[in-house]
Structure 1
């Protein structure tokens, strides 16, 4: 039996919201989708309403819910905190799926410090499925509802990773904003060299093939989503500055003359990066070998050259 007899997923017609609707319903929760439009398949289980200004019907629904999950944009979620938490019954759980957590933590501290709350952030595209994948969990106020929802994520195959709100936003600035900036910048640089991509794919060593694959994957997504990741995280700008500074440092080491790197030009950089990777280095090297085997569909030991 589900720990949440009645659940409300606001924004349940979106990809992330729909994933959690499925998770809750599979666990036996009677789950209502609340959205501004009715999804085609949700005729009998969707309430069209504005969560930032609940009318009588939505107010009654929120008052009966064991879990209210906000799977909406940050501006909507923050505006909804006060009206939603005032309507929720004591002991009910509030959750969100925002990609930035500091704002929600501050809003709850200011207006609803007694409400049990966890912010979830699936670190993958919903279409990839939850099995084996990390779900960041920022607990603002712990309690039995939080524990129950995290168990539900685990039972669905997800891997909850607990972080504080500042830790979450620093981490996603690196794992998402910085990573996407690297990939798009790599693509722009290639495009501006005038190279033919068919020649590149025919001749590229494995590291380049991986970067091309990452670029192709991003191009299959939404520019708006990737853009929001960049501008919504207040720590993303510093991550991009670090990237620009690192590229300038690299350029200063290798120089612009034909002589290239001096005998010790990159020694210090490699030493710094060895220290940064620490005990994770060997495991990541093994991971890379497996990745290269996948690219070449071979059982050989993988590539070691650049």
Structure 2
């Protein structure tokens, strides 16, 4: 059993909400999906309602629920905190799947400090499945419901990684906002260069093929989702500025006479003086620390996969 006799998943017609609704049902929870605009084919299996202004049917469902999971946009989730927590039982659990956590923590502190709450952020596409994958976890208020939900995530094969709201938002600015900015910027640069894609794929070494694969994966997603990640995270702009500063610093390293140039910035847009590319590489090796050899091995396996070979693969290109 799930530990949650009745669950309400708001936004359960979406990818993330649908994943959790399915998992909860499989675990034996009577799960009601709520959506304000579900696809036509799902209208018969969910409650069409506005979570920010619950009507009688939704209010009754919220009052009975052991778990209410908000899998909606941040603006909707924050607006829903007041009406939802007023209807929930004192011993019920509120959860969310927001990609930014600081705002929810502040809203709960201001309007529902006694509610048991956990914020979840699956760090993977729902279609990939949860098994073996990390779920960033921000606990605002501990309780038996939080413990039960985290046990369920582990039973489903997920790996809860606990963070504070600030740690979460700063970390995802790097793992999501910065990563997506790098990949999309790589694609925009390729388009500006005007190189034929068939020539690229016929001649590309493994690192380039890997970047093309990442670009293709992003392009298969929703521009709205990627844009929301960039706009909603309060640290995303800092990540993009760091990327722009780092690219300028790299250009100075490779174009300066005698190998001298500005170092990679220290994160605040400044530079630490003149150093060559050798010194920059050494600095980055120190940054990666003991993880360096682990990811070198992973890259070796990735290159073997992407070229479908059994040889040693590429090392220098």
Q: Smaller-chain TM-score range?
A: over 0.9
Q: Which residue of 2 aligns with 1:294?
A: 305
Distance 1:77 1:186 in 2: 33
Within a 5 Å distance, the mapping from 1:107-146 to structure 2 comes to 107-146=107-146
Q: Normalising by the residue count of structure 1, what TM-score does the alignment of the two structures yield?
A: 0.96
The answer to whether the Cα contact below 8 Å between 1:101 and 1:169 also exists between their aligned partners in 2 is yes
Q: Which residue of 2 aligns with 1:20?
A: 20
Q: Which residue of 1 aligns with 2:186?
A: 186
Distance 1:279 1:305 in 2: 21
Within a 5 Å distance, the mapping from 1:67-86 to structure 2 comes to 67-86=67-86
Query: RMSD value over aligned CA atoms?
Result: 1.6
The answer to whether the Cα contact below 8 Å between 1:2 and 1:29 also exists between their aligned partners in 2 is yes
Instruction: Give yes or no for the alignment of 1:29 onto 2:29.
Output: yes
Distance 1:223 1:38 in 2: 20
Distance 1:156 1:82 in 2: 31
- CA shift, 1:158, in A, is 1.1
Within a 5 Å distance, the mapping from 1:149-228 to structure 2 comes to 149-228=149-228
Distance 1:94 1:49 in 2: 18
The answer to whether the Cα contact below 8 Å between 1:154 and 1:160 also exists between their aligned partners in 2 is yes
- CA shift, 1:265, in A, is 2.3
What is the DSSP-based 3-state SS (H/G/I as helix, E as strand, rest coil) of the residue aligned with 2:100?
coil
- CA shift, 1:129, in A, is 1.1
Q: How many residues align?
A: 304
Q: Which residue of 1 aligns with 2:288?
A: 277
Distance 2:247 2:37 in 1: 46
Contiguous gaps of at least 5 residues in structure 1: none
Contiguous gaps of at least 5 residues in structure 2: 262-274
What is the DSSP-based 3-state SS (H/G/I as helix, E as strand, rest coil) of the residue aligned with 2:202?
helix
Q: Which residue of 1 aligns with 2:276?
A: 265
What is the DSSP-based 3-state SS (H/G/I as helix, E as strand, rest coil) of the residue aligned with 1:94?
strand
Q: Which residue of 2 aligns with 1:95?
A: 95
Distance 2:259 2:244 in 1: 20
Within a 5 Å distance, the mapping from 1:46-57 to structure 2 comes to 46-57=46-57
- CA shift, 1:301, in A, is 2.5
- CA shift, 1:42, in A, is 4.5
Q: Which residue of 2 aligns with 1:233?
A: 233
The answer to whether the Cα contact below 8 Å between 1:31 and 1:45 also exists between their aligned partners in 2 is no
What is the DSSP-based 3-state SS (H/G/I as helix, E as strand, rest coil) of the residue aligned with 1:107?
helix
- CA shift, 1:194, in A, is 1.2
- CA shift, 1:204, in A, is 0.9
- CA shift, 1:190, in A, is 1.1
**What do the CA deviations read for 1:249-279 (whole angstroms, capped 9, x no partner)?**
11111117xx784697201111110111001
What is the DSSP-based 3-state SS (H/G/I as helix, E as strand, rest coil) of the residue aligned with 1:295?
helix
- CA shift, 1:55, in A, is 1.2
Q: Normalising by the residue count of structure 2, what TM-score does the alignment of the two structures yield?
A: 0.92
- CA shift, 1:36, in A, is 1.1
Distance 2:213 2:175 in 1: 17
Q: Which residue of 1 aligns with 2:266?
A: none
Deviates more, 1:247-256 or 1:229-238: 247-256
